[in-house]
Amino acid sequence: MLTESFSGIRGIFNKDLTKEVIENYALSYASFLKNKKPNPLVILGMDTRPSSPIIKEYMKKIFLRQGIDVHDVGFNTTPSIQHGVRHYNADGGVIISASHNEPMWNGWKFLRETGSVLKPEEIKEVIENSKSPENPDSKTRGKSEDRGSELRNAYVDFIMEMIGEKGIIAIQDAKLKVVVDPNGGAAATVIRDILEKLNIRIVEKNMELGVFNRLVEPNEKSLAYLAYYVEDLDADIGAGWDCDGDRVELVIPNSSEFSKKRGRMLSGHYILGLIVEAILSEYDGNNKYVVVNDATSDLIKDIAQKHDAETVEVEVGEINVVEKMEELNAPVGGEGSSSGGITPPSRCRDGILSLVQILHLMAKRKQRITEILEEFPEYYNERAAIECNPDIAVKIKEKLKEYWENQEHIKEIRTTGDETGGLKIIRKPTKEGPGWIWYRASKTEKGKFRIISDAKQREYADKLLGMGEKAFNDCVTDVELESVDAYLEKE
């Protein structure tokens, strides 16, 4: 099934993503850009899945016929391609990737001149116009230049600039050891160069581009083997990326109370927590804001409060976080629910920058990662994805809101976005501590409704998730019965 949302376009190549679909989207995006500027420049890059070069060539052909100049940057990470838009003062960009989906999937994201993905109203326009694009070829053909190697070098320089000279020296002096697994994805194009510049002792796994030896999504199952290397080689950390390199998952040493309690795989919320700690501990500006999505653990709020910073919540979606960060001039933000930290001038999650920022924090404090984590408050985050008819998703959300409004011990009910956005049920503190339940119909996986709970005790987080699932199932039943009743009345 072709998925079209503000997060991008995604489907199975040669099934959902046909040549016609690919070319129509390229035509629609070309029209979008040319409405702003007659002869735009586009950065065109991709991840390493087998269909990416084919899609790239289809799109490039259309752009050139439309009179659009193309900097073809080939295999590069999503953060690198987004950096490329700013680096080359381009008018837009295309990232060909299906992120964490398996290799038979692919897709693309369209970028703004800032390097961020299109705003919801902009991608809506591109999606609608892709259904019947009518763009005559330009009288002047666009020019194509290969800039892949040049951009990779520029991105390495960008990472060094973000850390700064003092940070580079601190990391170099720490002589850290890291096990890396890009799984043949785009992160393999730059990770060695970056870590070698930082004097990191690197243990490399799965570095051959386009060869996927594990599941593309880095998670507890696909990265379980890294725990053995981290332990046996006395490494400081293990890191695994998805196919486009915007998401990193970390495996920590098994030598602390933290890892004994929580396991070896570090949750995305704690990864974001480390990044927030790293940024705010050095930030001396006036705009002390941390912007997160509404599915992010309260862990981040606690860390922000320690640094006298305010946490602002928005609807799930990278562009929502980025837009609010720009509005507030916030120094850091991200989505703990999807393992991502965002640090300006970046306009996206960056799995490589996140790793380097965490290494900098470790080096600066002369602490192991587990020692830093043990100083953080404890939070537990549980989740479920339930199959749901997408046609009734909005009604279910409305029914859930009504359901929880009639329950006891509710402190606050929050909503974000429009009728399809998030619904957050914040319970009054109990002897088990504070906690909340969150709902949202997935916009990247049609037919799935996501439920997340967050609490300071694992047992309470499990309990809240169970309560959330029960409420959801009850509301689905009510909505379905109402639909049957309405049908019978018509008959």
247-303 pLDDT per residue, tens: 999 999 987 788 888 889 999 999 999 999 999 999 999 999 999 999 999 999 999
> How confident is the model at residue 306, as a pLDDT?
96
- For residues 79 and 482, which has the higher predicted lDDT (pLDDT)? 79
Confidence band of 338 (pLDDT split at 50, 70, 90)? confident
Going along the chain from its start, the domains and CATH numbers come out as 3-146 (3.40.120.10), 152-373 (3.40.120.10), 380-490 (3.30.310.50)
d(CA 478, CA 472): 10
pLDDT on residue 134: 80
> pLDDT tens-digit profile of 183-204?
999 999 999 999 999 999 999 9
Let me know if 114 is exposed, middle or buried by CB neighbors in 10 A (0-12, 13-18, 19+).
middle
In the chain, % of residues over pLDDT 90: 88
> What confidence tens digit (pLDDT) does each residue in 167-177 have?
999 999 999 99
pLDDT for residue 67: 97
* Residue 339: band (very low, low, confident or very high) from pLDDT cuts 50, 70, 90: confident
Segment (H or E) for 438? strand 433-441
pTM, two decimals, is 0.94
pLDDT score, position 445: 78
With contact defined as beta carbons under 8 Å apart, do 101 and 10 qualify? yes
DSSP 13: B
| pLDDT tens-digit readout, 201-255 | 999 999 999 999 999 999 999 999 999 999 999 999 999 999 999 999 999 998 7
- Specify the DSSP class assigned to residue 117: B
Give the C-alpha separation, 77 to 75, whole Å.
7
- Whether the upstream peptide bond of residue 345 has omega within 30° of 0, thus cis, is yes
| Mean pLDDT, the chain, integer | 95
Q: Please identify which residue in the block is written with the tokens 């070698």.
A: 196
d(CA 100, CA 185): 10
Euclidean distance between CA atoms 478 and 473, whole angstroms: 9
Model pLDDT, residue 485: 60
Asked if pLDDT for residue 487 goes beyond 60, the answer is no
Q: pLDDT of 11-49, one tens digit each? A: 999 999 999 999 999 999 999 999 999 999 999 999 999
Mean pLDDT, residues 360-382 taken together? 96
